[in-house]
Amino acid sequence: MKIHLTSVFVDDQAKALTFYTEVLGFVKKHDVPLGETDRWLTVASPEEPGGTELLLEPLGHPAARTYRDALVADGIPLAQFAVDDVTSEHERLTGLGVRFVQAPLEMGPVTTAVFDDTCGNLIQIASQAQ
């Protein structure tokens, strides 16, 4: 068994696709129309294009909005992405205008930082000391 797909709930799929591809550097994997406005829209890491996909899921269900908004209000990231060096990635993303709500923080062998994905979510990046 392996993880194939996970989701983040987004307010605007087009805006999310731009952020996740042009800013974060993911690549679009699937883009299939679903009804009049929604899409089955996934991205993947360019380092593992056949790996786990991230579904940029439309925020249609009221429970999803309540859940996501409660996480943001409490400062809890919805997802975590691994990076080689949190400090370098923090500097790169800050230079691209990404707003961080937690600067790089070392916690033993792990360093984390948390940013706003512009689509309603907090996302954590993490790296482990080698």
- What digits encode the pLDDT tens for the residues 30-89? 999 998 899 999 999 999 999 999 999 999 889 999 999 999 999 999 999 999 999 999
Q: What is the pLDDT of residues 20-36, one digit of tens each?
A: 999 999 999 999 999 88
Q: How confident is the model at residue 129 (pLDDT cuts 50, 70, 90)?
A: confident
Q: Are strands 38-44 and 27-34 parallel, antiparallel or unpaired?
A: antiparallel
What is this structure's pTM?
A: 0.93
In the predicted structure, residue 93 carries a pLDDT above the cut 90: yes
CA distance 60 to 65: 8
| The pLDDT value given to residue 35 | 87
Angle at 7 (CA atoms; ends 94, 71), nearest 5 degrees = 65
Q: What are phi and psi of 73, to 5 degrees?
A: -60, -35
| C-alpha–C-alpha distance, residues 88 and 22, integer Å | 18
Residues 71, 78: Cα–Cα separation, whole Å: 7
pLDDT at 130 over 80: no
Domains of the chain, start order: 5-128 (3.10.180.10)
Helix (H) or strand (E) run with residue 14 in it: helix 13-18
* DSSP bridge partners of 81: 125
Element (H, E) at 106: strand 100-107
